[in-house]
Structure 1
Amino acid sequence: MRKRLMAAGMACLGLSMLLVPPMSAGADTTPAPGEPATVTADALPTWQTDGVVLAMEIVNGVAYVGGNFDHVRPPGVPRGGAGEVARTGLAAFDAATGALLPWAPVATGPIFTDDVVQTECDNLGGNQYRCDTVWEIKASPDGSRLYVAGDFGKIGTERRYRIAAFDTATGALDPDFAPSPNSRVRALAVSDTTVFAGGHFTAVNDVTRTRLAAFNRADGALLPWAPTADKRVMAMVLSPSGTRLIVGGDFNRINNIWQHGLSAVNVSNGTKASFLSNDIPYNNSNSRSWVTDLVTDGTRVFASADGVGTFDGRLAVNPETGARIWINNCLGATQSISVMDGVLYSGSHAHRCDMQTYYEGNGFPETRPHRRFLAEPADTAQGVKQRVLHWFPNAQPGTTYPFVQGPWTMANDGTHLWAGGDFTQVNDVPQEGLTRFTTHDVSPDVTGPVQTNFQAPTAVANGGGKVTITWGATWDLDNRKVRYEVVRSDGQVACTAEANSVFWTLPNLSCADLGRVPGSVYKYRVRAIDPHNNRISSPSSPDVTVT
């Protein structure tokens, strides 16, 4: 930390060696040169749902969301409040403003069948197995079609078994695209000609298809392409070359060849493609990981993972070879990822990120509350340890799903980052199911440093007209650098300091007020100011008499 000495009777002293910025929190909305800037941590006004959002896609300026909700309502409105309207499983919003759009198909459902149980959907408690759940939404490359998938059996009055298509220009249900998988469709990938599907199903149109299938985009016809997965497929993405489909999930074998959790198949014929990744561990059923989401930036493929007793962070691989580029292993299941402007954003319940095997510097240790959103550089080079960027908005999770997750899905349009899930608050403000963020250039960062636990300073008279003021630093959700002004009770700034802070490492700071008249009595308070001049103030110190 560089100390600044202030003229005209002001001096600044640094008391802590912890003023050096932790390398694991290297970027924010005003990063150092060469570091990627994040979106702000300010949650923008966004409509809400009365249930869980599990799927999201942004196309043509519209944010389409799916899940297991029955209504949506304006920001700031409680459930059942003014302006609430019906939306069953699917809804659409203006991606830039968060406002509700008219599109309102109704997804309802039949009996849900998976690999283990066959039961009425609602009999397992809560809403976690609702028959009408939408699990996936993907757009065609040209943006003309929107494909949705899940557990539903109807869209409106039309039979659509677990997969359906819509015309994005009109919002109408595609009358020709109507395949019939026999169980949940959890993942989709769409090319110019083909819709690829993965999930729990074992047949489509009464033809054997073991958790992987492909359909003609024009008419929904089942294609001969028929690789197999021995257990559930949960995510998929086409490689940038378009020649292979990267698949993720909780499977052990693709086409009866062992490769747990993350693999690839050839688009041309469904054969298993060469894929080097072995980063999704399987030790036994009680010690394993599975891939929850896959995205690409056109160069790399990124995967997120959940796990039992093992890896549940994020990694990047070469999409044409499967070779690992980087990996991290923050503890706390990651359910969703989205890459935007060189930053990989994730939704999880991360609670520890200080494992030296993968991290540069020290990430945060075991912590409560869990961090529901994280960011990291997407383009970290092969062999370089990954780090967490300084972006720490948070959410209060709901209770619908086991293990109280929080975020379940993310998407962006290059300007706005949307997130959906099972949460009831964002940054301690009531907000259910949906939230969104954007860059400082689009919507200025207006939230100051964290007020909680920012205590009154201690002021000590040292003789000779000098008073030393000491305080504990606070931190900011999206800026690592915080400036401090110590304000005397006469309203003047007595001295200043500056520090880089993260929530797990808060330095003690001090500066000196010089040249005071002996016998004078003052109080002192501290203003904490972020790089965008957003500020908070501590309480005042007790009176101190200058000596």
Structure 2
Amino acid sequence: MLATSWSIPRSRQHRHVSRRRRRLPARALLAITALTAALTTVPPAVADTAPPPGELPTVTADPLPTWQTNGTVWTIEIIGDTVYVGGSFTAIRPPGTSPGDPAELPRLNLAAFNATTGQPLPFNPAVEANPGAEVIVWDLQPSPDGHTLYIAGKFTKINGQSRPRIAAFTLPDGPLTGFRHDLDAAAEALAVTPTTVYTGGNFTTADGSPRQRLAAFDRTTGTLTGWTPSADRRVMSMALSPDQTQVIIGGKFDTLNGKPPHGLSSIRTDATGTNAPWETGLERQSDTRHSWATDLITDDDTVYVSAAGTGTFDGRLAVNPDGGTLRWIDNCLGGTEAITLLAGVLYSGSHAHDCSTQPDGFPQLDNNRHQRLLAEPANPDPARYDTPPILHWFADTNAGPTDGQGPRAMDNNGHYLWLGGDFTTINDQPQQSLTRFGDLTVTTDTNPPQPLTKPTVTKPDGTTGTLTITWTQTWDRDNKQLKYEIIRDGTSVIHTLDSPSRFWDLKPLTHTDTGLPPGSTHTYTIRATDHYGNTAQSPTSDPVQTGQLRMSRPSPDAPLR
């Protein structure tokens, strides 16, 4: 078991401001020094997309062709083979194209795509606000039967009809339903049961009745219910407990129904709307130094939480929904905005810059660098880990042009992982605000290792017929083990070795080529190959000549024979 109380050590607190909880009165913080992998010759290469027994495979790090948006994606919801995307945008366009492309299609803040192909679907409602007001679709949630899609955000009308900040569509055809309510400020989060729609945000009235940032509506009659819990500050995320008896709530609040903890707690879904027992809150030191829950997801027995913060905790944690006790926590630094769970792996979107407290995590990155996409096991083996290791999956985005986040929304259908945000590149290639990845049942791993630098070749002192080749490891986004081949004179593979590598810890490798003709000149290249045969090859080395045999000269006093 974990210890009974803890607070975050100051040396590990994040100092940057993110978008999206008071001190964490949680069960434990057991920080683990990141493991340092030794550089050794190993058996034939394996990959994290095809790992050895006991390790979880990831989706590939290769983004698949996907239509883009011309603005920020704040929420993604996958229902069957349809991906619904909401945010702040006015158009979508094909992959590989620039804004304004002739094939661009109008979409006002809400769009739908085929999960398998990435192609757009006809669903095209116009989500708008009053003139001059900001429009954001914050959250999308389906009914349990999949026949209704609920939408929350900052908007006032849809398809010209009044829908102040909450609405619903009938699926699969997508007409707007008669579900109409008036919230006086933004709704940011939704949770839906067979009978009830729960919402949270920054509003203080619903249909003219007092509702302090939380409200519920009857799904059958459409009426506002008597469920009246209150949050003293902004609600930003919601999820149902596995048994649907609680709504887990995250945000910037200090209290729910006047009770702590800050930032993360639980309310019963019954008519009382009272607090359920809950132990794990988020850190709050002051109005300017606190954390908040950006995203909440659940499986059969766990609530997974992502957090962002200002000078405080902003990683991820797993909580028992029965009492809110902490199961594990990671303390990667760099605000986390979105999470999704696929085949036992918890994927996250953040601007992580220091994961040194995690096994296999990276240290503080240089030059304000960030690794914005991460993967870790959702249920780490307790015999090996107290906090999840960072898996070798390093797809990446850039920062958004506004506040520098990048990823902001994630969802998956068991095979395809969709990612949205305000980024403009994926793996250094142009792609705006929306992309997707697949597991090996639906795609192949085609991403080659990163480029290699030119090897150096030296002639060891006092040798003949010998040259030493030195080069620096490269790395691959989803394969830790790489095979290196040394190629002499562009034709002959003279040596092969396998070596693990990580982008933050690239080591020098060497090989000595012997038995060469004395005085001969040679060049070398290095080829790196991943588990799937994808290769990268270095530039050719400068030519170097081996040492020559030195003939001894007879002494002038030696007798003639």
TM-score normalized by the length of structure 2: 0.87
1: CA distance, partners of 2:489 / 2:454:
13
Aligned equivalent of 1:298: 300
Check whether the contact 1:325–1:381 (CA below 8 A) recurs between aligned residues: no
Q: How do 1:382-401 and structure 2 match up within 5 A? A: 384-400=386-402
Q: How do 1:89-488 and structure 2 match up within 5 A? A: 89-110=109-130, 121=133, 130=134, 132-175=135-178, 177-268=179-270, 269-278=272-281, 280-355=282-357, 359-360=358-359, 362-367=361-366, 368-381=368-381, 384-400=386-402, 402=403, 404-451=404-451, 454-462=452-460, 463-488=463-488
2: CA distance, partners of 1:484 / 1:320:
50
2: CA distance, partners of 1:272 / 1:342:
30
Aligned residue among 83, 90, 102 for 1:70 = 90
2: CA distance, partners of 1:381 / 1:159:
51
Check whether the contact 2:185–2:202 (CA below 8 A) recurs between aligned residues: yes
For residue 259 of structure 1, give the secondary structure of its aligned residue in structure 2. coil
Deviation readout 1:310-346 (Å, 9 max, x if unpaired): 1011111011121111101111111111011011111
2: CA distance, partners of 1:490 / 1:304:
50
Structure 1 or 2, whichever has the larger Rg, is 2
Check whether the contact 2:490–2:525 (CA below 8 A) recurs between aligned residues: no
Aligned equivalent of 1:125: none
Shift in alpha-carbon separation, 1:291–1:20, aligned structure 2, 3 A: farther
Deviation readout 1:181-225 (Å, 9 max, x if unpaired): 111000001111111100001110001111111111123211111
Deviation readout 1:11-30 (Å, 9 max, x if unpaired): xxxxx994169xxxx97212
Moved more, 409-418 or 390-399: 390-399
Following superposition, the deviation at residue 516 of structure 1 comes to: 2.1
2: CA distance, partners of 1:417 / 1:17:
29
Query: Aligned pair 1:541/2:541, yes or no?
Result: yes
For residue 349 of structure 1, give the secondary structure of its aligned residue in structure 2. strand
Check whether the contact 2:354–2:365 (CA below 8 A) recurs between aligned residues: yes
Letter in 2 for 1:391: W
Check whether the contact 1:150–1:184 (CA below 8 A) recurs between aligned residues: yes
Following superposition, the deviation at residue 361 of structure 1 comes to: 5.3
1: CA distance, partners of 2:301 / 2:464:
64
2: CA distance, partners of 1:319 / 1:514:
64
Following superposition, the deviation at residue 486 of structure 1 comes to: 0.6
1: CA distance, partners of 2:468 / 2:399:
43
2: CA distance, partners of 1:107 / 1:17:
51
- TM-align CA RMSD: 1.8
Letter in 2 for 1:149: A
Check whether the contact 2:360–2:391 (CA below 8 A) recurs between aligned residues: no
2: CA distance, partners of 1:284 / 1:533:
53
2: CA distance, partners of 1:441 / 1:64:
23
Aligned equivalent of 2:16: none
Following superposition, the deviation at residue 276 of structure 1 comes to: 1.1
1: CA distance, partners of 2:277 / 2:515:
74
Check whether the contact 2:361–2:390 (CA below 8 A) recurs between aligned residues: no
1: CA distance, partners of 2:278 / 2:446:
45
Q: Percent of counterpart pairs with the same letter?
A: 45
1: CA distance, partners of 2:520 / 2:53:
45
2: CA distance, partners of 1:258 / 1:172:
41
2: CA distance, partners of 1:339 / 1:307:
22
Letter in 1 for 2:104: E
Q: What is the aligned residue count?
A: 502
Following superposition, the deviation at residue 45 of structure 1 comes to: 0.4
Check whether the contact 1:495–1:512 (CA below 8 A) recurs between aligned residues: no
**4+ aligned runs moved over 4 Å, structure 1:** none
Aligned equivalent of 2:512: 512
2: CA distance, partners of 1:546 / 1:332:
51
Letter in 1 for 2:142: A
Following superposition, the deviation at residue 431 of structure 1 comes to: 0.5
Stretches of structure 1 lacking an aligned partner (at least 5 in a row): 1-15, 112-119, 122-129
1: CA distance, partners of 2:162 / 2:490:
74
For residue 247 of structure 2, give the secondary structure of its aligned residue in structure 1. strand
Aligned equivalent of 1:86: 106
Check whether the contact 1:395–1:423 (CA below 8 A) recurs between aligned residues: yes
Stretches of structure 2 lacking an aligned partner (at least 5 in a row): 1-35, 548-561
Shift in alpha-carbon separation, 1:426–1:260, aligned structure 2, 3 A: same
Letter in 1 for 2:477: L
Check whether the contact 2:231–2:257 (CA below 8 A) recurs between aligned residues: yes
- Which structure: greater strand fraction? 1
Deviation readout 1:506-538 (Å, 9 max, x if unpaired): 111112323322222210000011111100111
